[in-house]
Structure 1
């Protein structure tokens, strides 16, 4: 694990983070074509930064924080924009944000014990992928013509799967944190004696 900052994958993640406010403006003002384009660029850069980090052996601590942060911000901003416009009900936003708040509460708890971010698992990646795939489809569902109804059905299917997997992964992360803490030696076992 490297501590470098200016690697190609990290720069891509930083650029993706910089696109979040641009996307927020586009989605809330109804500029769906541009919003979809920004989401597509974000999705490609998300895949590319992970691929390059492994391929170029540039996996860094910063990258392990930036990449999921960009994903979470895109998810939340997209849901806020879609809820703002009435495309998704408010409960979808609340359910997804509640999971992220739950996990955010684990960070200081684990940090006090010397642990960094939890290892991202397959279920977490699948849930994030499903949600990030659902949102462009829900935006496309607003388009007139035959594309809209098909995108609506497929978009909601991915939304349900994404929310389910997102929460399943969240519960797995809580269990992982509990295992880490339980594996610590108790004060009675340790000591200087």
Structure 2
């Protein structure tokens, strides 16, 4: 499987997937149908997650914990995980650190929505923390499981392609509303897709399984590859969605943080 990803799931493949979303899907389906589908997924994922964790989120809101504090806490736990990973800390410490870092990624957006404190600065912090966590777990996997470099590279190429498209979407919208406003709105959640968060969840899970499986001497490789495959599947779905968005214009739905 790793060789398949290494040789087939490359930049031209991902660009081709984007092309399907841009040229082919709009030929068969109207803008309303495609945008309704994307919006329905965003709404379902966000509302279900918020509803499930509402009792915990309510505690954060009640005590006045700012969502940016949750994000910064996640960055601290990511730093602790990185330090422990490269200094040989105990697996239990590493596990608790990475779980707390991942939970911060889940809860900061929910706390922001519940407390009505969604801001562009918070979105910037969230993105920086996500990038930090992504780099740390990726380095950990490459260090401990270099044989998975092919599938990891495929995901990274797809993820970079998506980020480039996001930047271009901001530029396109900037011609209409102004570039500063377009960038600020995106940081505040405008046009964000749940697919992008889901892909990161599966990727992070696969990386964590490989890291801790290696530490414990447990063969989690096959299971981790399933999660990586799911991550790449959602990269593909995201690219199709971004192709549709760029064909018809900005998508107004959002999946903040």
- TM-score between the two structures when normalised by the length of structure 1: 0.72
Tell me which residue corresponds to 2:102.
Answer: 43
* Alpha-carbon displacement from aligned partner over 1:87-121 (angstroms, at most 9, x marks no partner): 55222332232223223333553444423336222
Aligned alpha-carbon RMSD (Å): 2.8
Per the alignment, do residues 144 and 132 of structure 1 end up closer, same or farther by CA in structure 2, a change over 3 Å counting?
A: closer
2:195 maps to which of 115, 123, 128: 123
Shift of 1:39: 0.9
Per the alignment, do residues 92 and 80 of structure 1 end up closer, same or farther by CA in structure 2, a change over 3 Å counting?
A: farther
Structure 1 segment 11-50 matched on structure 2, within 5 A: 11-31=69-89, 32-50=91-109
* Higher relative contact order structure (alpha carbons within 8 Å, sequence separation ≥ 6): 2
Tell me which residue corresponds to 1:190.
Answer: none
1:153 maps to which of 222, 226, 232: 222
Q: Distance in 1 between matches of 2:167 and 2:197?
A: 23
Matched, 1:77 2:77: no
1:54 maps to which of 113, 138, 152: 113
Aligned structure 1 segments of 4 or more residues deviating by more than 4 angstroms: none
Per the alignment, do residues 109 and 122 of structure 1 end up closer, same or farther by CA in structure 2, a change over 3 Å counting?
A: closer
Q: Distance in 1 between matches of 2:209 and 2:94?
A: 12
Q: Distance in 2 between matches of 1:166 and 1:99?
A: 6
Tell me which residue corresponds to 1:134.
Answer: 206
**Larger % of helix: which?**
2
Q: Distance in 1 between matches of 2:243 and 2:86?
A: 33
Ranges in structure 1 where 5+ consecutive residues have no aligned partner: 1-6, 182-193
Structure 1 segment 90-109 matched on structure 2, within 5 A: 90-109=149-168
How many pairs were matched up? 173
Q: Distance in 1 between matches of 2:247 and 2:82?
A: 36
Q: Distance in 2 between matches of 1:73 and 1:96?
A: 16
Ranges in structure 2 where 5+ consecutive residues have no aligned partner: 1-64, 175-181, 251-257
Shift of 1:126: 1.8
Shift of 1:141: 1.3
Moved more, 73-82 or 25-34: 25-34
Q: Distance in 2 between matches of 1:177 and 1:19?
A: 36
Asked if the contact 1:138/1:156 (under 8 Å) is kept, the reply is no
Per the alignment, do residues 165 and 25 of structure 1 end up closer, same or farther by CA in structure 2, a change over 3 Å counting?
A: same
